[in-house]
Amino acid sequence: MNSDTLKGQWHQVKGEIKNQWGKLTDDDISSIEGNGEKLVGKLQERYGYAKDRAQQEFDNFKSAAQDFANDTDTSATKH
C-alpha cells in the first residue's frame, strides 16, 4: 500500500487504524486524511514514539494491509 492507495482507501482503512492505534482520537483520524506522514506524526505525538519507531509501525501496518488485500484478491479469483 503506497501513499496514494492509503488516500484512495482512506474510508476503508481508517477503522483499522483506529483498531491498531486506539490512542488516536476521531479528530486525529480526521486530520490525517489518508496522509501517511501525518499518521506517523500522530503516532509520535500520541504514543511518544521516536520518528523511526513511528515509521516502522506505519510500514508494518501498510505491509499487513497489502498482504490482506493480496490474499483477498487471490481468493476472489479462485472461485
Give me the mean pLDDT over the 48-72 stretch: 87
Note the pLDDT of residue 67.
73
Prediction pTM value: 0.78
**CA 60/CA 42 separation, integer angstroms:** 16
Which pLDDT tens digit goes with each residue over 1-49? Answer: 666 667 778 888 888 999 999 999 999 999 998 899 999 999 999 999 9
Fold of 3-73: Protein Yjbj; Chain: A; (1.10.1470)
- What the block records as the C-alpha cell of 2 is 503506497
- pLDDT attached to residue 65: 80
Greatest alpha-carbon span in the chain: 45
